[in-house]
């Protein structure tokens, strides 16, 4: 049976602040937020910014005074090696705080780049500090947000180190499908993915030639279609089995936190 995400809390869609609705959808897949907590999140957002494809949302070595919420587009966390190679270590979709950890780490040890035209909101660190001091439940949910990204990172390490390349790609596709489903960004079993094969190679640590072979193998096996920046899952059960995909690490259930 195909895995499904249940609907967000009734009444949220269309009633939340449209500027932060994707964040609310993410947080409220894990616990219920009060109206006052909605207001605190709105208050924390001090600025909107549009970012062109290929531009950094946050640069390595910078010391941000705000954290960046992605509300439109795709972004990636990355590191550049001394020989100029790039390794993408995380993919971010709308509703993600891409650098909430900068609130405490202060200096960024990696960059975050736009993989498509992006729109972001900036959450002032002074306002986040007020949330941590005066709204412990909301602070725990924001902490949980960073913990989920840590869980995703662990899943990626296992996939890169211990799975076949086809299984690794299958896991990424399954994960993105589920994460995008939370914010309503899938159409049936299809979703928009504006990554080139070269960018996908940077995600998986492969050469472009090897990346192309992996994609073609999955197409031949009738698992996915990938055309014009649209990925369609053709056989969810076979793809999930190949990926050994278990969404537990995404923590997508509502309970008191």
Q: Answer whether 172's CB lies under 8 Å from 224's CB.
A: no
Q: What is the Cα–Cα distance from 121 to 19, expressed in whole angstroms? A: 8
167-188 residues labelled b (16+ CB within 10 A) or e (exposed): bbbbbbbbbbbbbbbbbebbee
Tell me which H or E stretch contains 233.
strand 230-233
Can you give the pLDDT at residue 19?
80
* pLDDT score of 13 more than 50: no
Q: What is the Cα–Cα distance from 64 to 170, expressed in whole angstroms? A: 35
> Which pLDDT tens digit goes with each residue over 226-236?
999 999 999 99
Can you give the pLDDT at residue 81?
96
Tell me which H or E stretch contains 4.
none
For the entire predicted model, the pTM comes to: 0.92
Label residue 17 by pLDDT band (50, 70, 90).
low
Would the CA dihedral through 234, 239, 240, 243 be positive or negative? negative
Average pLDDT, the chain: 93
Q: Answer whether 174's CB lies under 8 Å from 245's CB.
A: yes
Mean pLDDT of 178-197: 97
Mean pLDDT of 219-241: 97
- Token pair, residue 201, equals 């190679």
Strands 66-72 and 75-80: unpaired
40-50 residues labelled b (16+ CB within 10 A) or e (exposed): bbeebbeeeee
Tell me which H or E stretch contains 62.
none
Q: What is the Cα–Cα distance from 197 to 71, expressed in whole angstroms? A: 24
DSSP 26-45: HHTTTSPPPHHHHHHHHHHE
Percentage above 90 pLDDT, the chain: 93
Q: What is the Cα–Cα distance from 147 to 85, expressed in whole angstroms? A: 28
């Amino acid at each position: 049976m195909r895995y499904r995400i249940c609907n967000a809390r009734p009444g949220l869609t269309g009633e939340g602040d449209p500027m932060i609705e994707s964040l609310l959808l993410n947080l409220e897949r894990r616990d219920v937020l009060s109206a006052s907590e909605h207001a605190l999140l709105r208050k924390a957002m001090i600025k909107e910014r549009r970012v062109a494809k290929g531009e950094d949302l946050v640069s390595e070595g910078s010391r941000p005074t705000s954290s960046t919420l992605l509300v439109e587009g795709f972004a990636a966390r990355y590191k550049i090696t001394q020989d100029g190679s790039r390794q993408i270590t995380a993919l971010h979709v709308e509703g993600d705080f891409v650098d909430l950890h900068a609130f405490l780490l202060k200096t960024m040890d990696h960059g975050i780049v736009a993989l498509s035209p992006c729109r972001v909101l900036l959450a002032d660190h002074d306002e986040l500090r007020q949330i941590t001091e005066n709204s412990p439940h909301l602070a725990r949910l924001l902490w949980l947000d960073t913990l989920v990204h840590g869980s995703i990172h662990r899943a990626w390490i296992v996939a890169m180190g211990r799975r076949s390349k086809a299984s690794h790609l299958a896991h990424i596709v399954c994960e993105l499908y589920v994460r995008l489903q939370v914010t309503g960004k899938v159409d049936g079993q299809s979703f928009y993915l504006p990554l080139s094969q070269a960018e996908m190679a940077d995600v998986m640590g492969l050469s472009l030639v090897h990346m192309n072979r992996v994609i073609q193998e999955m197409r031949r096996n009738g698992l996915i279609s990938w055309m014009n920046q649209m990925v369609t899952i053709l056989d969810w059960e076979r793809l999930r089995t190949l990926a050994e995909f278990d969404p537990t690490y995404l923590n997508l259930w509502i309970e008191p936190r």
